[in-house]
Structure 1
Amino acid sequence: MDLQLLAALGLGVAAVVALILWSRLDAFVGLLAGALVTGLVAGVSPVDLIGHVSTGFGSTLGGIGVVIALGVMIGKVLEESGGADALAKLFVRLAGRGREDVAMTATGAVVSVPVFCDSGFVILHPLARSLARRYGRPVVTMSLALAGGLAITHHMVPPTPGPLAAAGLLGADLGAVIAAGLLFVIPLIPVVVAYARIVGPRLESQLDPTLVPDSDAPAAAEGPGAAQAGTSRGASGHVVGRTGVPVGEEPPDPPIGAGRAALPLLLPLVLIIGNTVTGAVAEGTALANAFAFAGNPTVALLLGLAIAVYLLPPRGTSRATVVGWLTAAAASAGMIVFITGAGGAFGEVLRQSGVGDALAEAVSGWPVPMFLMPFLIASFVRVAQGSGTVAIITSATLSGPVMEAAGVDPTLAVLSACAGSMVFSYFNDSYFWVVTRFTGLSGVAAMKMWSGMTTTLWLASLPLLGVAALILR
C-alpha cells in the first residue's frame, strides 16, 4: 500500500478516535475531521475535498436520514402509549409458567426494533422484577434476559439506527438486511436465555439494595446511564421511569392491546420485505410495482407512524401531547442522522482519494476472511468509545470501499459490522449503567453480568457470520 495513502488512513482514523475519546466534541465532528485529515494527507485538493464531503454527506442522508427519523418517532409513540408494555404481557402469557425468562428475551427482541435499548429496559424492567418476585426467579436472570433481548435486535435489525445507517452506507437492500437480521437474531435468543440462566443465579447473592432505583438511597440515580434512562424522583422519593411507575413495581395493565401495539411494527417490516421479495421473483408485475412504492422504506415507515399516532395513544390523549412525543423523538434522532451523514462523507473521501482501493488491495492478503473486516473494525471501535451505533457507522464507513472493491455482499458486510459492535459493553457504555444499576449490581459482578453477556453474544455471532458468508456469496 502506498505510504502516503496509508498515512492518510492512519491519521484520519486517529483523528476520529482522538476527538471522540479525548475532546469535548462528539462522533459527528470527529468523523468530519477524520474525512478532512484523510483527504488532505492523501493529496486531494481542498476544493475537491469539500466537494467530496458535501456529496457524501448529502447522498447518505438523502437515502437514509428520513428513514431514521421516522423509525425513532414510531418507537417514541410505542414507548409513551404503553404499547411496549402490552407486547411484554403478551409474550409472558404465550411463554407460560417456568419460561418467564424466555418471554422477557422475546419481548426485548421485539420492542427494541423501534425503541432504544435504554428506554426499553426502563419501561419493561418493573415487569421483569415483578415476575421474579411472583414466580421465585432470580432478579438477575430476568434482568439479563430482558437486557439481552433488547441488545440483539438493537444491534442487528433495522430500523434501529445503527443497522439502518450501515445499510445505507454499504449500499445494501434494506429489506434483505431486515430479513437477514431477523434470521441472525433467532439463534442468539437461546444464547441470551442460557447465559441468563447460568450466570443470573450465581450473581443473585451479590445484589446491592442501595443501588436498585426503587429505594431511597442517593446512589440510585447515579451513573452515566441514569440521566439517559429517563428516570426521575417522584413525590415519595422513589425513582420512577418514563411510565411514571416506581421502578420495581409492576406497572398497571396497558391501555391498549398487543395486537394494536404490534401493527406499527409489523406493517413496515412486511412492506419492506415484500418489496425485496416481489422485486426478485415478480419484477415488472403490478404487484411488484405496488410493493416498490408501498415497500419503499420512507413510505412504509410513514404508514407505520400514521398507524402509531392514530391507533396507539389512549383515548383522550391531546394533539399537543402526541406532537410533543414526535418532537422529542426528532430531537433524539437528530444527532444519529448527523453522525450517519458524517460517516457517508468520510466514506466518499476514502473512495475518491484512492485510500479505499489501496486498503482493499493491502488487506486482501490478510490471513482472515474479507467479510470479517467490518466485524473487527466495529469491535475495536466499540471497546474504544462505548457506543454500538457509532461502532457500526464507523465500521461501515471505513470498510465500505474495501467491501465494494472485494465484491463482498453488502448484506453480509452489514451483518458483520453489526455483530462486531456487540462486544464487551462496559463503563463507557450508558446501557451498561442502565442495566447494572437497575438490577442492583456493581463492580466485578456488574461486568460478569453485562460485559460477559455482550461478549458471549459477540462470540456466538462468529459462526453465524460464517454460515451467512456461505449463503450470501
Structure 2
Amino acid sequence: MELQLLAALVLGVAAVVALILWSRLDAFVGLLAGALVTGVVAGVPATELIEHITTGFGNTLAGIGIVIALGVMIGKVLEESGGADALAKMFVRLAGKGREDVAMTATGAVVSIPVFCDSGFVILHPLARSLARRYGKPLVVVCLALAGGLSVTHHMVPPTPGPLAAAGLLNADLGAVIVAGTLFAVLLIPVVVAYARIVGPKLESQLDPDLVAALAAEDGRGGSGSTGVLTGDGRDIAEEPADPPVSALRACVPLLLPLLLIVGNTVTGAMSVPPVVGDTFAVIGNPAVALLIGLVIAVYLLPPRGTDRKTVVGWLTAAAASAGMIVFITGAGGAFGEVLRQSGVGDALADAVSGWPVPMFLIPFVIASFVRVAQGSGTVAIITAATLSAPLVESAGVDPTLAVLSACAGSIVFSYFNDSYFWVVTRFTGLSGVSALKMWSGMTTVLWLATLPLLGIAALILR
C-alpha cells in the first residue's frame, strides 16, 4: 500500500478515535474530522474534498435518514403507550411457568427492534424483578436473559439504527438484512438463555449490598417493599407493572407490518410476479413508506383512549430529538466513506487487505470489534466498520448483506465501562466490580464468539 495513502487512513482513523475518546466532541464531529484529515493527507484538493464530504453526507441520508427517524418514532410510541409491557406479559404467558428467563429473552428481542435497549431494559426491569420474586428465580438470571435479548436484536435487526445505517452505507437490500439479521437473532437466543442459566446463579450471592440496599430503601412513596428508584412514569422499580392499556396484538401491528412490507418488497422483486403486485410492493415496501405506514398505525392504534394530541406530538418530538444525532452520525459516516473512495485510500486498502490471512467477509467484523472496545457504542462501531469496509466489500465482491451482518456481529463484543448499557444493566440488577464484568461483559463476549460460526455459514450461502 502506498505510504501516503496508508498514512491518510491511519491518521484519519486515529483522529476519529481520539476525538471520540478524549475530547468534548462526539462521533459526528469525529467522523467529519477523520474525513478531512484523510483527504488532506491523501492529497485531495480542498474544493474537491469539501464536495466529496457533502456528497457522501447527502447521498447517505437520502437513502436512510427518513427511515431512521420513523423507526425511532414507532419505538417511542410503543414505549410510551404500554405496548412494550403488553408484549412482555404475552411472552411470559406463552413460555409458561419455569421458563420465565426464556420469556424475558424473547420479550427483549422483540421490544429492542424499535426501542433502544437502554430504554427497553428500564421499561421491562420491573417485570423481571416481579417474576424473580414470584417464581423464586435468581434475579441475575432473569435480568441477564432480558438484557441479552434486548442486545441481540439491537445489534442485528433493522430498523435498529446501527444495522439500518450499515445497510445504507453498504448498499445492501434492507429486506434481506431484516431476514438474515432475524435468523441470527433467533439462533443467538439459546446462547443468551444458556449463559444466563449457567452464570446467573453463581452471581446471585454477589449482589452488591449497597446497591441492593439502595434499591430496597424506603423513600416515603411506596410503603413496604418500595425501592426509592422510579421509572420514567413515576412507578417504583420494584413494583410489577400494572396491566398495560393496550393489548399485545395491537402492539405487534405497527412493529411487524412495516417489516413484512419491506421483506415482501424484497421477495416480489426476486420473483416473477404480475406487474401490479410488483409495483404495489415497490411502493408500500419501500422502507420509508413502510415505516410511515407503521407510524400512522402506531399513533392511532396504541395510545390509550383519551390521550390528547399534545401528548402524542410530545412523544414524536422527543423521538425526533433522540434520532437526530444517529442520523447525523450516519451521514458523517457516509461522508467519510466517500472520501475514502474518491481519494483512492479505499482501493489501496482493499489491495493490501486482500493478502491478509483473514477472509474478506470478516474484515467488517474485525473493524467493528476494535472500534466497539475502543469507544463503547455498538451503533458507532457498526457505522464506522461499514464506512471503512465499504470500498473493500465492493472491490472484493463480498455480498453486501453478509458485510452488514459481519459489521453488526463484531459490534457485540465485550461491553464494559465505556458502554452506557453496561451501567444500565449492572446497576439496575445490583452488581458491581468484577461481578458486573462477569455478568454483562462475559455475556456480550460469548455472543460475539457465537456469531463467528453463523457468519461462516452465511458466507457459504451468500456468495
Alignment deviations for residues 166-205 of structure 1 (CA, whole Å, 9 cap, x no partner): 0000000000000000011111000000000000000000
Aligned to 2:186: 186
Alpha-carbon separation, structure 2, partners of 1:290 and 1:109? 30
- Kept in 1, the 8 Å contact 2:218–2:228? The answer is no
Aligned to 1:8: 8
Alignment deviations for residues 201-238 of structure 1 (CA, whole Å, 9 cap, x no partner): 000001124324633499xxxxxxxxxxxxxx999881
Q: 1:318 and 2:308 equivalent?
A: yes
Which AA in structure 2 matches 1:410? P
> Where in structure 2 are the equivalents of 1:289-368 lying within 5 Å?
289-368=279-358
Q: 1:241 and 2:231 equivalent?
A: yes
| Cα offset, 1:283, TM superposition | 5.5
Q: 1:214 and 2:215 equivalent?
A: yes
| Cα offset, 1:242, TM superposition | 2.1
| SS of the residue 1:110 aligns to | helix
Q: 1:444 and 2:445 equivalent?
A: no
Which AA in structure 2 matches 1:354? G
Aligned to 2:403: 413
Alpha-carbon separation, structure 1, partners of 2:369 and 2:355? 21
Aligned to 1:226: none
Aligned to 1:371: 361
Aligned to 1:221: none
Select the residue among 371, 381, 384 that pairs with 2:371: 381
| Percent pairwise identity | 81
Aligned to 1:454: 444
Q: Give the 3 Å change call, closer, same or farther, for CA 214–28 of structure 1 in structure 2.
A: same
- Kept in 2, the 8 Å contact 1:234–1:240? The answer is no
Which AA in structure 1 matches 2:250? R
Alignment deviations for residues 45-96 of structure 1 (CA, whole Å, 9 cap, x no partner): 0000000000000000000000000000000000000000000000000000
> Where in structure 2 are the equivalents of 1:114-125 lying within 5 Å?
114-125=114-125
| SS of the residue 1:214 aligns to | helix
Alpha-carbon separation, structure 2, partners of 1:274 and 1:64? 19
Aligned to 1:105: 105
Q: Give the 3 Å change call, closer, same or farther, for CA 437–237 of structure 1 in structure 2.
A: closer
| SS of the residue 2:318 aligns to | helix
Q: Give the 3 Å change call, closer, same or farther, for CA 282–214 of structure 1 in structure 2.
A: farther
- Kept in 1, the 8 Å contact 2:8–2:39? The answer is yes
Q: 1:203 and 2:203 equivalent?
A: yes
Alpha-carbon separation, structure 2, partners of 1:17 and 1:375? 17
Q: Give the 3 Å change call, closer, same or farther, for CA 411–89 of structure 1 in structure 2.
A: same
Aligned to 2:266: 276
| SS of the residue 1:186 aligns to | helix
- Kept in 2, the 8 Å contact 1:161–1:389? The answer is yes
Which AA in structure 1 matches 2:215? D
Select the residue among 398, 401, 408 that pairs with 2:391: 401
Which AA in structure 1 matches 2:183? L
| SS of the residue 1:317 aligns to | coil
- Kept in 2, the 8 Å contact 1:192–1:453? The answer is yes
Q: Give the 3 Å change call, closer, same or farther, for CA 249–364 of structure 1 in structure 2.
A: same
Alpha-carbon separation, structure 2, partners of 1:138 and 1:214? 16
- Kept in 2, the 8 Å contact 1:214–1:246? The answer is no
- Kept in 1, the 8 Å contact 2:208–2:430? The answer is yes
107-116 vs 208-217, which moves further:
208-217
Q: Give the 3 Å change call, closer, same or farther, for CA 284–396 of structure 1 in structure 2.
A: farther
- Kept in 2, the 8 Å contact 1:346–1:397? The answer is yes
237-246 vs 431-440, which moves further:
237-246
Structure 1 gaps, min length 5: 219-232
Aligned length: 459
Alpha-carbon separation, structure 1, partners of 2:251 and 2:378? 27
| Cα offset, 1:136, TM superposition | 0.6
Structure 2 gaps, min length 5: none
TM-score normalised according to structure 1 size = 0.95
Alpha-carbon separation, structure 2, partners of 1:81 and 1:208? 33
Q: Give the 3 Å change call, closer, same or farther, for CA 278–141 of structure 1 in structure 2.
A: same
| Cα offset, 1:282, TM superposition | 2.5
Aligned to 1:37: 37
Aligned to 1:253: 243
| Cα offset, 1:241, TM superposition | 1.1
Alpha-carbon separation, structure 2, partners of 1:323 and 1:259? 24
Alpha-carbon separation, structure 2, partners of 1:257 and 1:274? 26
Q: 1:26 and 2:26 equivalent?
A: yes
Alpha-carbon separation, structure 2, partners of 1:382 and 1:264? 31
Aligned to 2:154: 154
Alpha-carbon separation, structure 2, partners of 1:36 and 1:453? 37
Alignment deviations for residues 122-156 of structure 1 (CA, whole Å, 9 cap, x no partner): 00010011001111100000000000000000000
| Cα offset, 1:243, TM superposition | 3.3
| SS of the residue 2:211 aligns to | coil
- Kept in 1, the 8 Å contact 2:227–2:236? The answer is no
| Cα offset, 1:102, TM superposition | 0.3
Which AA in structure 1 matches 2:60? T
80-89 vs 275-284, which moves further:
275-284
Aligned to 1:80: 80
| SS of the residue 1:206 aligns to | coil
Aligned to 1:227: none
